[in-house]
Amino acid sequence: MKTKERKNLINRWHLVVLVGILAFLIVGSCYIYYQTELKNIRNEKYEELKAIADLKISQILQWRVDRIQDANSAQSVFFGKAITEYALDNSDKILEKNLLLRLLQYEKQYKYEDAFLLDKNMKMLLTADYELTNLDKNTLQNCIQAAEIRKTICSDIYYNSERKKALIEIVTPVYKNTDLVAFMVLQNNPESFLFPLVQSWPTPSKTAETVLIKRDGDDLLFINDVRHVKNTALRLRIPLTTTKIAGVQAILGKRGVSESEDYRGIKVIADLRSIPGTNWFMITKMDKSELFKDLNTMTSMMILFLVIILLLLAAGLTMIFRFRQHNIYSELNKAESELRQTEKELQATLLNIGDAVISSSLENKIQSMNPMAEKLTGWEEKEAIGKPINEVFHLINGENRLSVENVIDELLNRKKSGNLSDQLVMVSNRNEEIPVSLSIASLSDFDREHKGYMIVFRDETDEYEAELKLKYSEEMLSNLFQLGPFPTALVRLSDQKIMDVNLSYTELYGFSKDEIIGKSILEIGRWNDPLKQSEFLDRLQNQENIDNLEFDFRLKSGELRKGMITTRKIDFHHEKYVVGRIQDITDQWLAESALKDREEQYRSLFESMLNGYAYCHAIYEDGIPVDFEFLKVNKALETLTGIKDVEGHKISEFLPTLRESDPELFDFYKAFIANNEPARFEYFMNSMGQWFVFTVYSHRKDYFVVIFDVITERKKTEQALIESENRFRSTLDNMMEGCQIIDFDWKYFYMNTAAANFGKLRKGEMIGKKVTDFYPDFESTDMFKALKKCMNERISLRQEFYFKHPDGSDAWFDFSIQPVPEGIFILSLDVSERRLAQEELRLMNKELDNRVKERTIQLESANQELESFSYSVSHDLRAPLRHIAGYSQILTNDFKADLPEKAQNYLSTIVQVVKTMSTLIDDLLQFSRTGRTELKKLVFSMDQLLNEAMTPIIQALEDRNIEWDIQSLPKINGDYNLLKQVWSNLLSNAVKYSRDRSPAKIRIGCIKKQDENVFFIADNGVGFEMKYADKLFGVFQRLHSVEQFEGTGIGLANVRRIIARHGGRTWADSKLNEGATFYFSLPREI
């Protein structure tokens, strides 16, 4: 009793160990789960970032391709030709208007900031924005780059100083033959599409963003605005030495997904990419805190739950321990009384059970027998008690027929060796042989003192016969097992050793049967995933049946395969076994993986496709389709139509008037449902006011797919193009010039009426016919050789040709030939009359040249006479003046005291008038020489010339207070001495007419224009009224009296004559008492 009590007591430390084990298992499970979720979330987000980056880069590259295609239109036949003609001659106002409309179309239809044309020198030709006067230096550099590579370029994003914003420029060089004639520049504001495209994010997120960056010197420069800092586009910089920043890592060559920091110093997960064809990099990132936010929340809840579970577990086990200790002793007392009752019940059971029971003493004497033992042995209990057990319970070996001499010892030995199941046969008192199964057990009292043995046995006659049948079945099953198509193994659960395998198993793994039998499944199974192997073994130990568990394993050769295992537990000879069937699903798995990848790709494409997609189910009433239900749609449907949350709803819920507004569309729907034939068509939906292109197909009855896109803008463009083409065709048909297109087979493809009239034929009979059908000798003409060269070499040509008609008449034509996709386009003009006029003009010019030579000789003679006359006048006039001045001076010097004051004043006046007359004669002579002197042009610095002209004037000034403002002047090509005289006259006037001002202000500068340089000199002097401006540059014309300001009135006339001889202009601008500005222009010859 004490022993039983000790065994039933539970040690307190056992509970402590149990709690520890349970806690360790729970914590370990939670940690494994956490690590698994962490890995899954990280992989999922990495793939999401990669997918978003791939999508955005493809969209950016497509955007750049579209912009380049827009600009390439400048190289098309008609538009490129129009640009070329305008660049060479911009006086055609109709052509200018058409080009301006085309440029405005780029702005309005394609959303460009501006579109303009530049000539080959990068000067403005035509612009849609009349406020644009100056060009940013980046625009000029982009034009130079496009000209160097001779094709359209899409520039980098830069800050345009003229427009005060970030721009992208698409520049197309336009050529005539191989000569550059113009540039077309399209300016796009990236904030209109590119930046929103980059900054958008397909899923809700508080921190995720995509940024474009580039390297700018030793810094990282952000191209677009970032999410968390305002106004950063082309402003935010980070030194490249800050290598922990994601953008810096991208510029330094790192690619792919990594953990780093962003511009705020926040930890992020970022995908680093470079954008092909640009110097841009794209960073697709998300804050690490947001990435693992849900996992952290779940972890906190898991820890809280774990603590609660452990506390509850400890409290429960403590209560159980106390409750158990309290009740254990009462249970032991109760158990003793119940044991006695059990003995009585056991006695009754022995009397009634189906098994035979015999008990014997230590001396192997019969002590008791139950009724079944009496029946099987043929002995009654009262006869058998006290008899040796060998006498009553006689056994023989069923295989060798030998008698068992000592039943007890034999049974104990067999029990010890585990051979009790071997066949034994009992010989009854009636000499009947009965196959029996038996067991033996020791009998002890409450103090475990050995008292004897109890033998339990049963008639196995039926079982013996069944066993024979079973052996036969086992042989059949063994054959089926060995020859089964699937690799199969029999594993003993107790030690997990392989007991048998079939042929398919050895063929699969590559091991022989001897290498497998007796080995542990850990040795042969060769699982690639230890966790899954551990899970499999745990389930085997728990005797679970496993269905279709997938696992990775290696063959003997080391090859990695994928399998699927199914197990069933069986009991065999009182031993538990497992039959495992393995199916090699490597090929199937590879196919399914590829299918899943394709399905994922299609799903991603479905969600990101720009076209609307709807999967629908037809709805009938009385057998007629009257409506349909949306089963699955993509995001583009909502974007294109504005209709939201349509899945699970009918079209009539959103467009109730569809049948009335668009009956043709509904008629098509009914016809499509009836025949299920795929269709593609364009239709204007009155119910939505939009043009759509629909593609419809069905994969099974009453279900169909609709893929659509909104093409309203395209339709408008097509209509505009049709109208434009009609206008161009009408223009060509009604032109006075001949227009014709000849294809590569030398057939007339197109011809207007003028061209037919030039050829003296009818247009209708010429189209589709060869040229030689009308002009048999055409191929022997110079015209044919030129046309053939243009046709074969795809070059342009302009040339005049002599042509002889079949009727004998002849004519001259001016041909302008351009290659076109159909062949060559010829613009022709009958210049026969012009040729005749040119010949007449040539003869007239020849006659005129002769007359000019005669007149030149006469003019040279007249000039010599004029020079002699000028000298004579100068000499003859100066001699009397010198006499008058001399005698007046003598009178003043010698007889001043004898002359009255009034006479002295007269003499002073005479002397002054003589000086004035002398100056006037000098100026007239100079004016005369200026018109005859040969120009000696050379290139020199206008700054140097101005400095030389100013020096004597400044030296002659006394204490004048003058503020000079002189700009830098360009180099020019002209006569140095004559232009120095121009500046001397203008400077003298500015100083003279501002002498009443203090300070006097004189400003000198130059305005550079396309074809000329305009020089000016401005002062703040007395000025003049503009109504007298025409008199300024005439000889002897003065606006002020000599008493006010000295002078002869010839200086400005001389200025005008010198500037006119240089091919320039002179003019002035002024307000009375507010100063004057004098201008003169010189052609830009350098």
Residue 706 bridge partners (DSSP): 614, 696
Cis ω on the peptide bond leading into residue 999 (within 30° of 0)? Answer: yes
781: its two tokens: 């003409």
Q: Is the pLDDT of residue 421 over 50?
A: yes
Residues 903-923 have pLDDT tens digits of 877 777 777 767 767 766 666
pLDDT at site 345: 64
Q: Is the pLDDT of residue 4 over 60?
A: no
Q: How far apart are CA 636 and CA 33, in angstroms?
A: 38
In degrees and rounded to multiples of 5, residue 430 shows phi and psi of -100, 10
Q: How far apart are the first and last CA of the chain?
A: 130
674: its two tokens: 């009836």
**Running DSSP on this structure, what letter comes out for residue 74?**
G
User: Which are the contacts of 503, defined by CB distance < 8 A and separation ≥ 6?
Assistant: 482, 483
Does the domain at 484-591 match CATH 3.40.50.1980? Answer given as no
Q: Is the pLDDT of residue 489 over 90?
A: no
Higher-confidence residue: 607 or 1011? 1011
> Where does 609-716 sit in CATH, by number?
3.30.450.20
Q: Is 751 left (phi over 0), alpha (psi -120 to 50) or beta?
A: beta
Cα separation values, 272 from 43, 196, 222, 460, 563, Å: 16, 19, 14, 80, 38
Q: Is the pLDDT of residue 953 over 80?
A: yes
User: Looking at 167-171, 525-529, 538-542, which range is the least confident one?
Assistant: 525-529
Higher-confidence residue: 835 or 705? 705
625: its two tokens: 């389709």
**For range 769-796, the mean pLDDT:** 89
Q: Is the pLDDT of residue 328 over 50?
A: yes
Going by pLDDT thresholds of 50, 70 and 90, the confidence category of residue 1080 is very high
Q: How far apart are CA 292 and CA 301, in angstroms?
A: 14
Q: How far apart are CA 459 and CA 468, in angstroms?
A: 16
Higher-confidence residue: 1040 or 58? 58
Q: Are 1001 and 1023 in contact (CB under 8 A)?
A: no
Residues 474-483 have pLDDT tens digits of 666 666 666 6
Q: How far apart are CA 125 and CA 83, in angstroms?
A: 10
Q: Are 180 and 198 in contact (CB under 8 A)?
A: no
**For range 1015-1020, the mean pLDDT:** 94
Q: Is the pLDDT of residue 499 over 70?
A: yes
Q: Is the pLDDT of residue 815 over 80?
A: yes
Q: Which residue has 């003298």 as its token pair?
A: 988
Q: How far apart are CA 487 and CA 481, in angstroms?
A: 9
Q: Is the pLDDT of residue 1 over 60?
A: no
Question: Pairing between strand 612-621 and 575-584?
Answer: unpaired
176: its two tokens: 């005539």
455: its two tokens: 């033998």
Q: Is the pLDDT of residue 1070 over 60?
A: yes
Going by pLDDT thresholds of 50, 70 and 90, the confidence category of residue 2 is very low
Q: Are 542 and 557 in contact (CB under 8 A)?
A: no
In degrees and rounded to multiples of 5, residue 48 shows phi and psi of -65, -45
Residue type, 1086: I
Q: How far apart are CA 300 and CA 302, in angstroms?
A: 5
Domain range 76-188, its CATH number among 3.40.50.720, 3.30.450.20, 3.30.230.70, 2.170.150.70: 3.30.450.20
Q: Is the pLDDT of residue 801 over 50?
A: yes
- Identical fold, 609-716 and 933-1083: no
Q: How far apart are CA 732 and CA 751, in angstroms?
A: 9
In degrees and rounded to multiples of 5, residue 832 shows phi and psi of -60, -45
pLDDT at site 3: 45
pLDDT at site 966: 92
**For range 271-279, the mean pLDDT:** 90
Q: Are 1042 and 1031 in contact (CB under 8 A)?
A: no
Closest CA to 47 of 256, 259, 260, 290: 256
At 884, which helix (H) or strand (E)? helix 832-894
pLDDT at site 872: 58
pLDDT cut 70: percent of the chain above it: 86
Residue type, 681: F
User: Which are the contacts of 1009, defined by CB distance < 8 A and separation ≥ 6?
Assistant: 1084
1016: its two tokens: 């000016």
**For range 426-433, the mean pLDDT:** 85
Q: Is the pLDDT of residue 523 over 80?
A: no
> Where does 201-291 sit in CATH, by number?
3.30.450
pLDDT at site 933: 67
Mean pLDDT of the chain: 81
Higher-confidence residue: 242 or 314? 242
Q: Which 3 state secondary structure label does DSSP give 651?
A: helix
**For range 825-843, the mean pLDDT:** 85
**Running DSSP on this structure, what letter comes out for residue 935?**
P
Residue 501 bridge partners (DSSP): 489
In degrees and rounded to multiples of 5, residue 241 shows phi and psi of -75, -15
Q: Is the pLDDT of residue 7 over 50?
A: no
Task: Give domain 734-830's CATH superfamily.
Answer: PAS domain (3.30.450.20)
pLDDT at site 823: 92
Going by pLDDT thresholds of 50, 70 and 90, the confidence category of residue 8 is very low
**Highest-confidence segment of 28-37, 787-796, 888-897:** 787-796
Q: Is the pLDDT of residue 897 over 80?
A: no
Higher-confidence residue: 860 or 403? 403
User: Looking at 398-407, 501-510, 522-531, which range is the least confident one?
Assistant: 522-531
pLDDT cut 90: percent of the chain above it: 12
**Running DSSP on this structure, what letter comes out for residue 9?**
P
**Running DSSP on this structure, what letter comes out for residue 899?**
S
Q: Is the pLDDT of residue 93 over 70?
A: yes
pLDDT at site 858: 67
Q: Is the pLDDT of residue 967 over 50?
A: yes
Question: Pairing between strand 1000-1008 and 962-966?
Answer: parallel
CA 304, distance to chain mean position in Å, is 45
Residue type, 998: S
Q: How far apart are CA 52 and CA 44, in angstroms?
A: 12
Q: Which 3 state secondary structure label does DSSP give 980?
A: helix
Q: Is the pLDDT of residue 834 over 80?
A: yes
Fold classification of 933-1083 (topology level): Heat Shock Protein 90 (3.30.565)
Q: Which residue has 């300001």 as its token pair?
A: 1045
User: Looking at 210-214, 638-642, 919-923, which range is the least confident one?
Assistant: 919-923
Residues 32-75 have pLDDT tens digits of 877 777 777 778 778 888 888 888 888 888 888 888 888 887 66
Q: Is the pLDDT of residue 948 over 70?
A: yes
User: Looking at 473-477, 723-727, 740-744, which range is the least confident one?
Assistant: 473-477
Q: Are 798 and 791 in contact (CB under 8 A)?
A: no
Going by pLDDT thresholds of 50, 70 and 90, the confidence category of residue 1004 is very high
pLDDT at site 14: 66
pLDDT at site 876: 62
> Where does 353-466 sit in CATH, by number?
3.30.450.20
What are the residue boundaries of the structural domains of the chain, listed by start?
A: 76-188, 201-291, 353-466, 484-591, 609-716, 734-830, 836-908, 933-1083
pLDDT at site 5: 45
CA 952, distance to chain mean position in Å, is 69
